[in-house]
Structure 1
Amino acid sequence: MPTVSVNTHFPGYEIIGELGRSNARVLKARHLETGDLVAIKHFSLNTDADTLRRFRLESQLMTDINHPNVVRVREVQLDMPMPFIVMEWIEGGNLRTLLGEQGYLDVSNTIRLGLQVAEAFKVIHPQGIVHRDIKPENILFRPLPSGEIHFLLTDFGVARLHEQSQTMTGQSLMTYEYASPEQFDNPRGVDKATDYYSLGVVLYECLSGKVPFSMTDSAGIASFMGHVLRTSPPALQIPSEQYLPPSLETILEWTLAKNPAERLNDVNELILLLRQANVEQLQTSRSADRRVPVSSRTVAAPVPTPRPLEAVASVPDEEPATGTNKWLIGLSVAIVAMLLVLAVLYKTHHKATSTGTSVVPDTTTVANDSTETETMVEDTTESSSDYPVEATTDSTKTESPSETVAEPPAAIPDSSRTVVDSTKSF
């Protein structure tokens, strides 16, 4: 291709330098009217009219999207010898550069990447936009003042331009390693499920430092496709110092499913699992951090320890007194209860004795002598305070007139003599 002045092809922009080149050439430029830094990506591939039409439609939709996890498309120019798009400038770089420097991402940053890409899915998929080419080169980042990494998704719909190429050179090999199984059979008929598969490959690589299926120079496309279509991904291996949340393992298993119908392709479910993985990661980190402060506080503050012991020592002095008081109260109650029982038994016995002696005489005679009985009761009241036993003697004496009415049985004279004898003792 003949060399031409880039200023001729990109009017209104000042070209600062070239950032990279693969299937597309990426330039750093400045918008002359606003002074904003931008990234211009132009393509060297020949495409058919239908592909350009679809790319124009999706790119136009992208210009209307303003989301923190989506690189904003500022301008689309397809009626040029080399079609190009203008995007906002992201100063950090792309995920491929980050993985090249570190080898892998820690679990926390991997979860953050998944959450932010899922937020981008939530915006583009409802509008019918399928990315088709999610890979580290198309995930940009910028460092934040807090030290965290902010991720953004870029190059929406650009994969349509790549589908026309029949060669596999340079960066296009990496695209095949992130392609879903259905992209090998019908690349133009894929839906949003293919983006979830590609994201699963990216997460797998971030954790382990390598993709599930690698296409080497010695392996042909047929052999590689066979592995992708029929072989399960190798077991994930991450550095031993890191903890892999179970929910993150579930995400990798569900997003890398071969069948699109069985694959995780719901953004809300993906976000829920990622947040759960984040909670599991935080719980593990905090439980490990809590062990150190507890021991340090115990060693650094031994002085306050005797104070609670004094307070505790004073408690037993009060408890025995409380127990003794309760015992004395209980004993007093028991004694009073016994006295009441004895009094009740005495009265019951007294009534029973009176009733037994008055049954034998005639009831009419007893009624006539009720006055004398009442008098005798008054007399017993006066003497009961000193001699309670003599009340029985007086009550028996009141029954003596009944003996003149009828002859009592042989046992009654004995009781009369007993009464006489008690009188003598009086």
Structure 2
Amino acid sequence: MPTVSFNTNFPGYDVLGEINRSNARVLKARHIATGDLVAIKHFSLNTDADTLRRFERESAIMTRMSHPNIVRVREVRLDTDLPYLVMDYVEGGSLRHLLSTQHNLPVDVTIRLGLQMLDVFRLIHTQGIIHRDLKPENILYRQLSSGELHFLLTDFGVARLHEQPVTVTGQSLMTYEYAAPEQFDNPRQIDEAADYYALGVVLYECLTGRVPFAMRDESGLVTFMNMVLSTPPPPPVLPSGEALPGSMVALLDQLLTKNCRERLHNPDVAKLALKQAEVEQLYHQQKPVSGQTVAFRPPVREKAAPEPPVRPASNTDRESIAVPRRSRSVWPMTALVGALLLTGLWVYWYFSPTASRSVRPGLAGVSRTENPESDSETFEFSDLTVSAAEKRAQEERRRQQALEAARKRYQEEVSRATKQLEATAFGGKVGFFGGVKGLSVKLNNPSAVTFKSVAVQVTYVKDNGETFKSPIMYFNNIGPGGTITRRAPDSQRGIRFSARVLRADAAPPDSLASTSSLPNP
């Protein structure tokens, strides 16, 4: 492939050719120092200074972020005549190219794609990054040695860099078919729920071969926006006519919800739905075809050789083949002795004070109970005089005791995790006559607990030691080992500042969340 003549625009790289051209141009190149193949994406900037600073900050985060389903950003240069960013080269291609050749993807491959994108969401959303332009063009893939497809997300922040308010006459570089309804009203004020809507559209298209709402030239933008804002998406139908797993249909419905506040945007819940859909799909593949029955067929024995004809036995023959009477009476006696031994053993176990012990299931008088402190099952001899209602009451009391113990342990874990939360104020500039501007607050969660909301109090202190004001900032959805940095409100007075965690609200596991809310430690 001939070398392109504009190598001078990308020092340190040897441009080999063009990969793609849409809103930006993507080039295939080789890093001269290492020999690594890379992809260079260059574009012309037409945006305001605030958006440019935000993109630079997110790009800096992306260069430090490492995840197996994220295309690594090696370098970002926005201060040149031809701004560009350099990423790892992915040899497979884009999901768009895959759909253009295969029309749609199998259910199991689509589930694999969804699980990997949810893992990406878990990481970037805790860092305060919203992709804003999730679509097949921005999902790349490579084929593993096992034959499975490995998907990677790319183009972080590029959509936000290009984004402009949507008008009928203006043009926005966001992709309409994958944009959440709230992106049409105020594209700058969106949260992670917009990424989950786009994921729902991508999964819908992978399964059916089409998007829920298509942008057609003859209908116009206004008509398309009205459909997205008010019309329910058509039920997803596989081209093969087979039924989709029920959990997948329910998940798509929750991801494509119009109201962003009601839309599913929890990676754990979405992952559970995809795993359930995977189980349902495997079960469907193993079921017999409708109208057929699978009957058990015993093994066919080989035909024995025909026996010779039996002649009438003489008296001599009868004497030679007669079974002795003593041998014939041994078996009943043996059975009787065995039955007596088993009965005695059962009586001993039944009336023994240590009757409650692990035994094999299936014996008479044995009831199975679950040990809440372990994954194993134990089987106890039950009193035959206890009624069924009393047994249920006992089981319910044991379940409640186990639940209370689990809740107590989780409360203790949350209490320890809350003490580990660390809020740090940095970067503030004090004016000549006082006042703090440009202050940032970083919240670090080194624990293994997920907090759905953390309140951090920022204090501005005047030169005489008095507190001028103490605003409260809220950090939402910070996962284990996560860090979130936010801009603090400016202060007209004060020369010193500090930040501390005021309170935290943990996100309990599903097994505890349905019972009662956990108190703040």
Q: State TM-score, norm by structure 1.
A: 0.66
Contact 1:125–1:192 under 8 Å retained in 2: yes
Bigger strand share: 2
With 277-286 and 202-211 compared, the bigger mean Cα shift is at 277-286
Residues 5-404 of structure 1 aligned to structure 2 (within 5 Å): 5-164=5-164, 175-240=175-240, 242-288=242-288, 302-303=300-301, 322=332
Contact 1:23–1:45 under 8 Å retained in 2: no
Give the deviation of 1:240 after TM superposition. Answer: 3.4
Give the deviation of 1:92 after TM superposition. Answer: 0.3
Q: Which amino acid is 1:153 matched to?
A: L
Contact 1:23–1:44 under 8 Å retained in 2: no
Q: 1:79 to 1:231 in 2, by over 3 A?
A: same
Root-mean-square deviation (Å) = 3.0
Give the deviation of 1:286 after TM superposition. Answer: 3.1
Query: What secondary structure sits across from 2:108 in the alignment?
Result: helix
Q: Deviations over 1:212-231 (max 9, x none)?
A: 00011111111110000000
Q: For 1:72 and 1:6, how far apart are their aligned partners in 2?
A: 24
Of the two, which has the highest radius of gyration? Answer: 1
Q: For 2:26 and 2:302, how far apart are their aligned partners in 1?
A: 67
> What 5-or-longer segments of structure 1 have no aligned partner?
307-316, 327-426
Give the deviation of 1:282 after TM superposition. Answer: 1.5
Q: For 2:32 and 2:54, how far apart are their aligned partners in 1?
A: 29
Q: 1:133 to 1:90 in 2, by over 3 A?
A: same
Contact 1:255–1:265 under 8 Å retained in 2: yes
Q: For 1:35 and 1:221, how far apart are their aligned partners in 2?
A: 46
Q: Which amino acid is 1:88 matched to?
A: D
Contact 2:92–2:140 under 8 Å retained in 1: yes
Q: 1:283 to 1:47 in 2, by over 3 A?
A: same
Query: What secondary structure sits across from 1:261 in the alignment?
Result: coil
Contact 1:181–1:229 under 8 Å retained in 2: yes
Q: 1:271 to 1:318 in 2, by over 3 A?
A: farther
Bigger helix share: 1
Give the deviation of 1:172 after TM superposition. Answer: 6.7
Q: Which amino acid is 1:270 matched to?
A: A
Q: Deviations over 1:323-359 (max 9, x none)?
A: 9x99xxxxxxxxxxxxxxxxxxxxxxxxxxxxxxxxx
Q: 1:176 to 1:157 in 2, by over 3 A?
A: same
Contact 2:246–2:277 under 8 Å retained in 1: yes
Give the deviation of 1:322 after TM superposition. Answer: 4.3
Q: 1:42 to 1:165 in 2, by over 3 A?
A: farther
Q: 1:202 to 1:162 in 2, by over 3 A?
A: same
Q: For 1:94 and 1:168, how far apart are their aligned partners in 2?
A: 30
Look up the match of 1:414: none
Q: Deviations over 1:294-347 (max 9, x none)?
A: 88x959x523799xxxxxxxxxx989x849x99xxxxxxxxxxxxxxxxxxxxx
Q: Which amino acid is 2:239 matched to?
A: P
Structure number with greater CO (CA < 8 Å, separation at least 6) is 1
Give the deviation of 1:145 after TM superposition. Answer: 1.4
Where do 4+ consecutive residues of structure 1 move more than 4 Å?
A: 165-169, 171-174
Q: 1:6 to 1:250 in 2, by over 3 A?
A: same
Query: What secondary structure sits across from 1:221 in the alignment?
Result: helix
Contact 2:132–2:157 under 8 Å retained in 1: yes
Contact 1:196–1:255 under 8 Å retained in 2: yes
Q: 1:304 to 1:280 in 2, by over 3 A?
A: farther
Q: 1:166 to 1:172 in 2, by over 3 A?
A: closer
Query: What secondary structure sits across from 1:91 in the alignment?
Result: coil
Q: Which amino acid is 2:35 matched to?
A: G
Look up the match of 1:356: none
Q: State TM-score, norm by structure 2.
A: 0.55
Q: For 1:199 and 1:128, how far apart are their aligned partners in 2?
A: 18
Q: Deviations over 1:163-190 (max 9, x none)?
A: 1387999x97881110000000110110
With 16-25 and 75-84 compared, the bigger mean Cα shift is at 75-84
Query: What secondary structure sits across from 2:261 in the alignment?
Result: helix
Contact 1:173–1:215 under 8 Å retained in 2: no
Percentage identity across aligned positions?
59
Q: 1:64 to 1:174 in 2, by over 3 A?
A: closer
Q: Which amino acid is 2:69 matched to?
A: N
Q: For 1:192 and 1:44, how far apart are their aligned partners in 2?
A: 27
Contact 1:212–1:233 under 8 Å retained in 2: yes
> What 5-or-longer segments of structure 2 have no aligned partner?
305-326, 337-521
